[in-house]
Amino acid sequence: MATVEFSREEMFEKIWSRPALQIAQEIGVSDVALLKACRRASIPLPGRGYWAKPVGRRPSRPKLLPLADESRTRLSFHVLDADSIPKIVKHAAPIGPTEPPIVVPDKLVRPHTLVAACMSALKRSTTHDGLLYFGDANVLDIRVSKESMDRALRLMDTLIKNSEADDNAWSISPEGKTIFYVHGQPLKVFLREKLTRKDRERPPPPPRPSKTVRGSDWVPNAVDTYFLSGTYLAPTGVLFFQIDEWTDVRTQRIWSDTRNTVLEERLRDILAGAKLAAAAVRAREERLEADRKEWARKAAEKEAAARVDEETRRLRLKLSREVEYWERWKRIEAFCAWIEREIVPTLASEDAGAAMAWLAWAREQGEVLRPVFDASFFKLTLELGDWRYSEYGPPKNHGWWAA
């Protein structure tokens, strides 16, 4: 990622020179993020429909007033590095008023295969919170009301056909997710209808009984419908299309019906925004892959260092044991020589024979401890195999000689 900065004066000139969507695409951010940054910096913006009017009928440009807070005099944006944005995005044609809009037909004609599958699954759909659910059917991820389903299918059919004309593809994953392949980069997408919470109508109270116990007040039963109240979710008819992916940079991922614009008029914006989102997702995947390789490299280095430490520990242990065996062998030899020299001459003849037999046995036991100095004795490599004693690694030795 990289950071792009503009002064208030530079952004003021840009925002009054051409539409905000073109400037946002040039910078590498969404038009929503661009306009929010301008408002935070108190930059006056062109009104709605400003660029659609002829030049002579456009309102005059206001003046940029100075700010007392110097921290808001510069606008910063976190964008993708230029090398990480594919050519399809860098050379994409800007969206402007001269481009013809994508027309959504009033009636489905020869629907796309994925849309036709949705139409077939409608017979087995169920309703929850006013929205239709296709159940286990492996179809497009659409959740709208029955009244909005025809419009949703026409929207998706038009979007899919126009995107496939630009070398894109669509599919349904085994988990039931709708995958939009933007020049090979998969994006999970879905179409939804917004819900609103409404109060339930309270039913009329039950009639008062004709007879009551004298001296007591009549109270309705606690489970009576009179006390049943609350809220429920109801569809609003407002549709929105969303790219369900996470990116490291702020890119537009949701397009919705608004007070002045319907989703049918934003299909070209969706296709252009999907290219930026695909580039951002690809850049994030490449970063995560680089991080995984770096973590694997460090783990391998740590493993190799721990293996060397364990090999050294075992070689030291072998050395200390051989020294201990050698010392015991030398002490036994010296002890036997002392007995033979100092003790045996003082013994009687019959006892001297028994002492010499014992000395032969003792020297034989000492020979078991005598080191064998062959080629394997001087090897500095060991076959460790499954060398770790536990998941916490080999034991730590504070003094290797005491290992």
Q: Is residue 191 predicted with pLDDT exceeding 70?
A: yes
Number of domains in the chain: 2
Give, in degrees to the nearest 5, the angle at Cα 274 between 273 and 278: 120
- Reported as a single tens digit per residue, the pLDDT across 79-90 is 765 555 444 344
Residue 251 has pLDDT above 60, yes or no: yes
Could you tell me which residues are beta bridge partners of residue 182?
A: 185
Q: Whole-model pTM?
A: 0.60
Q: Please give the Cα distance from 390 to 403 (Å, whole number).
A: 18
pLDDT at 97: 45
Indicate the residue among 79, 98, 124 that finishes a domain: 79
Domain enclosing residue 320, as ranges = 307-402
Q: Is residue 52 part of a domain?
A: yes
How far apart (Å, rounded) are the C-alpha atoms in residues 401 and 403?
5
98 in a structural domain:
no
Query: How much is the pLDDT for 89?
Result: 43
Residue 300 pLDDT > 70, yes or no? yes
Rounded Cα–Cα distance for residues 278 and 181 (Å)? 9
Rounded CA separation 253/189 (Å)? 9
Structure tokens at 274: 């999907």
Structural domain includes residue 350: yes
Round to whole Å and give the CA distance between 240 and 246: 18
What confidence score (pLDDT) does residue 91 get? 38
Q: Which of 52, 79, 106 is the last residue of a domain?
A: 79
d(CA 27, CA 76) in angstroms, rounded, equals 11
Is residue 221 domain-resident? no
Q: How far apart are CA 89 and CA 193, in angstroms?
A: 29
Average pLDDT over residues 284-305: 92
In a domain, 72, yes or no: yes
Confidence at residue 219, expressed as pLDDT on a 0 to 100 scale: 56
Residue at which a domain ends, from 16, 45, 79:
79
Whether residue 57 is contained in a domain is answered as yes
Q: Is 365 within the bounds of a domain?
A: yes
The SS3 assignment for 218 reads: coil
CA 309, CA 312: separation in Å to the nearest integer?
5
Closest CA to 191 of 163, 152, 227: 152
Q: Is residue 355 part of a domain?
A: yes
Paired strand residues for 133: 126
